Amino acid sequence: MSDPALRVRDLKKHYPDPGGGRMLALDVPSLDVGRGEALCMRGESGSGKTTLLNVIAGILPADEGTVEIAGERMTGLSETRRDALRARHIGYLFQTFNLLPGLTALENVQLGMSFRPRHGASPRKAASDALDRVGLADRKRHRPAQLSVGQQQRVAIARALAGHPTLVLADEPTSNLDRNLADQCMELLTSFAAESEAALLVVTHDETLLERFERVETLAAPVGSPA
Ligand code: ADP
Ligand code: MG
């Protein structure tokens, strides 16, 4: 049997606090996401949602515990190796999109997936296909500033999904969008992930997203952390 897309055990992350001590920001005893499964993790502001995704993706190192992506250990690796493991398996949809302003839509998507195994297609073809899939076939040469907010979000979705990642992480994907755009974005994200057989982990405080997911869990702020 193949390993799950994500396996987390006894994961803890602290931040320095202004008093010179350290504060527990994340405490997750156990979390698994199966291959192709979609999970919505709800949590109040400050509960550690962004920290959780950053530690899973290896953008931040963990202090304790383990993260495995498709059976490969993320925790304990050097930053360079974490970057490589992330590039191979993970698509990340950032809360503020994080598109590079000097690059076209096509270049942004291509850059985002350039280290991912690609089932044969060239990076440019895979990026182009992903933009077709999100309805931006006629916007590939536009730069982010030449696109509407909804179109920028679709470029970010294409970048996260292009080239068949094992796991897609989405940080509050609707927080910068009005209700109508939020619905379109979630429809696109969940359907594209399902087609790609990517596991999807969405973190949010937006309760209206929950009904789209068969599986919903709650991230509790660690005991003793400030409200
Ligand atoms: P969420 O995404 O759920 O709003 P975060 O993961 O951003 O929560 O933050 C969790 C907790 O860690 C919060 O109490 C926040 O103030 C704190 N925190 C986040 N980033 C830092 C940082 N770089 N330095 C110190 N504390 C931080
Ligand atoms: Mg956050």
Q: Which amino acid is at 200?
A: L
Give the model's pLDDT for residue 225.
58
| Residues 137, 165: Cα–Cα separation, whole Å | 21
Q: Are strands 72-73 and 64-69 parallel, antiparallel or unpaired?
A: antiparallel
Sign, CA dihedral 9-57-186-44, equals: positive
Q: Which residues line ligand 1 (CB under 6 A)?
A: 15, 25, 43, 45-51, 225-226
Give the model's pLDDT for residue 163.
86
Neighbours of ion ligand 2 (CB under 5 A): 49-50
CB within 8 Å of 148: residues ≥ 6 apart = none
Q: Are strands 72-73 and 90-93 parallel, antiparallel or unpaired?
A: unpaired
pLDDT, one tens digit for every residue, the chain (227 residues): 689 999 999 999 999 999 999 999 999 999 999 999 999 999 999 999 999 999 999 999 999 999 999 999 999 999 999 999 999 999 999 998 999 999 999 999 999 887 776 567 788 999 999 999 999 999 999 999 999 999 999 999 999 999 899 999 999 999 989 999 999 999 999 999 999 999 999 999 999 999 999 999 999 999 865 55
Give the model's pLDDT for residue 217.
97
Q: Which domains does the chain have, with CATH numbers?
A: 36-61+77-218 (3.40.50.300)
- Ligand 1: centre distance to CA 121 (Å): 39
Kindly identify the ligand whose nearest atom is closest to the C-alpha of 44: 1
Sign, CA dihedral 194-47-14-96, equals: positive
Of 204, 209, 206, 166, give the one whose Cα is nearest residue 187. 209
